[in-house]
């Protein structure tokens, strides 16, 4: 009898949490191999297709030419494309994120062999960011796609939808593209496509300034461009965050680690736990007195698999907060 009761209680618990945390994730999709690529524009004013099916895309100045190679001070822009998966019936698209892996960066003013973040010697100061634009370049990448992404181009949906990078540090870069994927679905497109470029393309000094980003052809699968789709069936629980105890998670989505920020009006015990979408507790994050005022908790998520999770915060039994987070490796 006790065994039956235990099974019933366990089943109720799982069903209860599955109902509350009913968000799910579509399997992520890699970029389309033949549509990863870089287009080069040389000083003579003629764009040319620099590469497809290679391990890296490039953005910025090429610098002193290789032998053989492009002319000095040529400029690169890169392009990446993903197939849009079908959204299951009765589900809504919650969010979409692009993950890129920045392999390296080059800076003509760096002391370490040219590595660093690009610095263009132009009027108005240095370029500090690399941007992404939402475009349509169809089912083949060629030199005519060079201007797609520029303001006024008919195949530019949104110029500069966000900053991809403003750092020379190697690692993952994430960008929320939910609005633009939804736009593609509304237009009946089967692809969602983007251009990667610096706002400043060249500075005329024949020195290399730019970044490289891994493509589908990278030998390390974890570094290939990837698109993550998160869905909701409308039954998920809303965040219950009070003004005085508001919780912020930065970054979110998470690669390997994140920080949790929250305020307390008075010092009180704080308990933070992590649950998967089945309602199973997978991690005790902290159980200690929280100080009055601003609090910051560092959380290592490297051991957890990609997916949707929920943080449960309990302030001395008085206030419970549920925060949805995404882990994408």
Q: Please give the full DSSP string across 41-110, using - where no structure is assigned.
A: E-TTS-EEEEEESSSEEEEEE--S--SS-PPTT-EEEEEEEEEPPPPPTT-EEEEEEEEEEEEEEE-TT-
Is the confidence at residue 296, as pLDDT, over 70?
yes
CB 215 within 8 A of CB 36: yes
- Residues 215 and 225 sit within 8 Å (Cβ to Cβ): yes
CB distance 41 to 146 below 8 Å:
yes
Q: What pLDDT score was predicted for residue 126? A: 53
> Predicted confidence band at 266 (pLDDT cuts at 50, 70, 90)?
confident
Q: Residue 37 and residue 15: Cα distance in Å, rounded?
A: 46
Kindly tell me if the per-residue pLDDT of 242 is higher than 60. Answer: no
Q: Are 262 and 313 in contact (CB under 8 A)?
A: yes
In this predicted structure, what is the pLDDT of residue 320? 61
Residue 4 CA, distance from chain mean position: 46
pLDDT: which is higher, 71 or 292: 292
By the 8 A CB rule, do 233 and 89 touch? no
Question: 206 and 139 in contact (C-beta within 8 Å)?
Answer: no
Angle at 216 between CA 304 and CA 59, to 5 degrees: 105
SS3 at position 310:
strand
Residue 202 has pLDDT above 80, yes or no: no
Instruction: Output 231-234 pairs: Cβ under 8 A, ≥24 positions apart.
Output: 231/23, 231/24, 231/25, 231/26, 231/87, 231/88, 231/91, 231/92, 231/93, 231/94, 232/22, 232/23, 232/24, 232/91, 232/92, 232/94, 233/22, 233/23, 233/24, 233/90, 233/91, 233/92, 234/92
Q: pLDDT: is 188 or 254 the higher one? A: 188
State the Cα–Cα distance between residues 216 and 258, nearest whole angstrom.
27
Find out whether 40 and 50 touch, Cβ atoms under 8 Å: yes
**Residue 298: predicted pLDDT:** 85
* CB-based contact 177:100 (threshold 8 Å): no
Q: Give the per-residue pLDDT at 293.
A: 79
pLDDT in tens, 103-123: 888 876 554 456 678 877 766
CA 5 to chain centre: 45
Band (221; pLDDT cuts 50, 70, 90) = confident
- pLDDT value at residue 37: 92
Contact between residue 79 and residue 208 where contact means Cβ atoms under 8 Å apart: no
- pLDDT tens track for 75-101: 889 999 999 988 877 777 777 889 899
pLDDT in tens, 2-35: 445 444 444 444 434 443 444 455 668 899 999 9
Angle (CA) 137-163-232 rounded to 5° is 75
Determine phi and psi for 189, rounding to 5 degrees.
Answer: -75, 155
Residue 70 confidence class, pLDDT cut points 50, 70, 90:
low
CA-to-CA distance for 223 and 36, rounded, in angstroms?
13
In sequence order, the β-bridge partners of residue 228 are 97
Alpha-carbon gap, residue 160 to 54, rounded angstroms: 25
């Amino acid at each position: 009898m006790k065994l039956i009761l235990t099974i019933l209680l366990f089943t109720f618990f799982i069903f209860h949490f599955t109902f509350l945390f009913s968000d799910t994730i579509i399997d992520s999709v890699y970029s389309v191999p033949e549509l990863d690529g870089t287009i080069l524009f040389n000083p003579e004013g003629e764009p040319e297709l620099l590469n497809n099916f290679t391990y890296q895309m490039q953005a910025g100045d090429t610098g002193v030419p290789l032998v053989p190679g492009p002319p000095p001070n040529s400029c690169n822009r890169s392009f990446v494309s993903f197939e849009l998966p079908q959204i299951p019936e009765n589900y809504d698209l919650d969010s979409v994120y692009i993950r890129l892996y920045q392999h390296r960066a080059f800076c003509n003013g760096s002391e370490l062999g040219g590595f660093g973040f690009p610095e263009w010697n132009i009027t108005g100061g240095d370029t500090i960011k690399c941007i992404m634009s939402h475009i349509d370049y169809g089912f083949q990448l060629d030199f005519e796609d060079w201007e797609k992404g520029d303001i006024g181009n008919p195949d530019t949906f949104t110029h500069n939808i966000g900053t991809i990078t403003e750092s020379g540090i190697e690692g993952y870069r994430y960008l929320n593209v939910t609005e633009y994927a939804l736009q593609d679905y509304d237009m009946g497109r089967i692809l969602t496509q983007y251009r990667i470029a610096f706002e400043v393309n060249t500075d005329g000094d024949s020195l290399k300034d730019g970044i490289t980003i891994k493509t589908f052809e990278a030998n390390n699968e974890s570094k290939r461009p990837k698109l993550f789709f998160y869905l909701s069936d409308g039954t998920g629980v809303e965040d219950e965050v009070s003004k005085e105890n508001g919780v912020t998670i930065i970054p979110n989505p998470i690669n390997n680690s994140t920080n949790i920020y929250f305020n307390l009006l008075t010092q009180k015990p704080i308990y933070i736990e992590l649950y998967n979408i089945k309602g199973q507790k997978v991690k005790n994050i902290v159980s200690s007195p929280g100080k009055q005022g601003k609090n910051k908790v560092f959380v290592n998520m490297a051991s957890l698999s990609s997916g949707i999770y929920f943080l449960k915060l309990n302030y001395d039994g008085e206030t419970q907060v549920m925060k949805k987070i995404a882990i994408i490796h």
